[in-house]
Chains A and B, each alone.
Chain A
Amino acid sequence: MESGELISADSDDAAVLARVREGDRDAYADLVRRHAPMAVRTAYSLGAGSDAEDVVQEAFVKAYDALDRFREGAPFRPWLLRIVANETRNLHRGVGRRADRERSAWRRTEPLLAGGALDDPAAAAISHERRAEVVRGLAELSEAQRQVVTCRYLLDLDEAETATVLGWPRGTVKSRLHRALRRLAQVLADPATEQAPAGGHAAEVGHEA
């Protein structure tokens, strides 16, 4: 996305938000309509699976209830997507240990990425083999690395948005992204490293909040 689109979209959001704050609840429908596609894609990409639309519905309701805590003038989209990300995480709360929760999230996302939307013209931009290869590479990343790659590239958020959505400092986004890409490139360049114990992997988990 170009910055111009974002600037304009943000100011549109601000105008609608002002109306919602003044008591025009119906105006909120504009925000839902505008951000639903991205919110649903975010939920799918972070592991909501078939619950994605329910998660997004819940996130929009929670966002509405929390509007008085939303800082005026801040961009709405990353704030909303952070709620979506939290709701997606909550889906897996019942699953025992963290490692299991992370696996269960990735299990829901992996087939979506491996398959791709069949009728999507963008799917043609990447061959089946390469798609499978990149998905295999993503599976080799730590959950934190996968999340940062997902937000920054799969969802095409900028660095600041990624930081907001994941709730990390900007510097953490930068460094994890760097390590994730390097790891991904290594795995893709040399399939043998897939089996090797990943030093960066373990370190990442240790840093996770």
Chain B
Amino acid sequence: MRRDMNSDAYDVLVADLEALGRGLPGPGSDSGLTLAVMDRLSRAPAAVSTPRLLSERVASAFARRRRQVAVAAAALLVALVAAPPVRAAVADWFGFAGVVVRQGESPRPNDAPPSPTLGTATDLDEARELFAFEPALPEVLGPPQAVEVSADRRVLSMRWTDAAAGAVRLDQFDGRLDYTFAKQAPGVEFTAVKGDFALWFDEPHEVVVLAPDGTRRTETARLAGHTLIWEHADGSTLRLEGDLTKARALEIADSVPTASP
């Protein structure tokens, strides 16, 4: 029986196959696999260097991070300078401290921001037990009004009401591992928090929480307003969001104590 289907039916079939593929598992732990590979390379007859002590490797990993940030910054600068607006659809991605940023089109203005999906409401004490990092508390904001840890414990979110800016939200997550957030923004600006590289998003942009394997969870896409992203001293990444001026955002960021109590 030869029965060619119409193209709609093929589209459905292809979409189902793609859905099937998205259910395929990824690595149990990305960093575990990376460590295993790097460990094997270090034990192989050294092509470029002799096996090194763990402490040296850690030191070099930190040096590499700095380089990565520099490379990302350079890549973005190139993208900003070189990409004419008509090429906006040809997205430029770059990664920084657990955030992948895509220079894309601005979201349609009539897209109503859906409320962010958040995990169980909790308090600071419980958050300290659930979450891998000491919560970063900007001194100028005082104690948070709401504290939430995502169901997978990857993101700690806190909320305040700022006298000037209204609702302010701070997300904290491990910036050393895989990308946790993806952002699509028409433009970003480089700035610094305590002398370290930071990103300022002045315009509304799409933000997506990524699954641990780096795939997009489109249902988590939402619009975000003014946002500042910077690396905290303990290796976590902080993401401050609200109706903020850049000056106020930097002021809040600067008031996060460097040393965890």
Contacts and interface: CB of A to CB of B under 8 A. Distances in A.
Given A121-B219, A189-B3, A149 B90 contact: no
Contact of B16 (A4, A7, A33, A126): A126
A41 B211 CA distance: 14
B38 A28 contact: yes
B178 A33 contact: yes
Contact of B92 (A4, A117, A125): A4
A205 interface: no
Interface in B1-57: 1, 3-5, 9-10, 13-28, 30-31, 33-34, 36-38, 40-42, 44, 47-49, 57
A131 B21 CA distance: 11
Interface residues of A, number: 63
A17 interface: no
Contact of B91 (A5, A135, A184): A5
Contact of B25 (A2, A40, A130, A189): A40
B121 interface: no
Interface string A111-139: 01101110011110110001100110000
The secondary-structure label for the interface of chain A is helix
B20 A135 contact: yes
B189 to A, nearest CB: 20
Contacts of A134: 13, 16-17, 20
B112 to A, nearest CB: 21
Given A29-B38, A53-B33, A61-B37, A112 B92 contact: no
A26 to B, nearest CB: 6
Interface in B57-79: 57, 60-61, 64, 68, 71, 75
B206 to A, nearest CB: 14
Contacts of B60: 26
B5 A185 contact: yes
Interface in A115-173: 115-117, 120-123, 125-126, 130-131, 134-135, 149-150, 153-156
A208 B41 CA distance: 35
A8 B93 contact: yes
B4 to A, nearest CB: 7
Contacts of B164: none
Given A5-B93, A122-B22, A53 B37 contact: no
Given A26-B57, A61-B41, A113 B23 contact: yes
B25 A112 contact: yes
Contact of A32 (B28, B37, B57): B37
Given A30-B68, A40-B33, A156-B18, A120 B23 contact: yes
Contacts of B49: 23, 25
A154 B10 contact: no
A113 B15 CA distance: 15
B93 A125 contact: no
Contacts of B64: 26-27, 30
A33 B13 contact: no
B213 interface: yes
Contact of A45 (B15, B24, B40, B211): B24
Contacts of B90: 3-4, 7
A91 interface: no
A57 B43 CA distance: 14
B153 interface: no
A163 B58 CA distance: 39
16 contacts: A3-B90, A4-B91, A15-B71, A25-B49, A26-B38, A26-B64, A28-B37, A29-B38, A32-B37, A36-B34, A37-B30, A120-B23, A120-B211, A121-B219, A131-B20, A185-B5
Given A36-B34, A134-B17, 7 more contacts: A4-B90, A29-B37, A37-B30, A61-B41, A61-B44, A153-B14, A181-B13
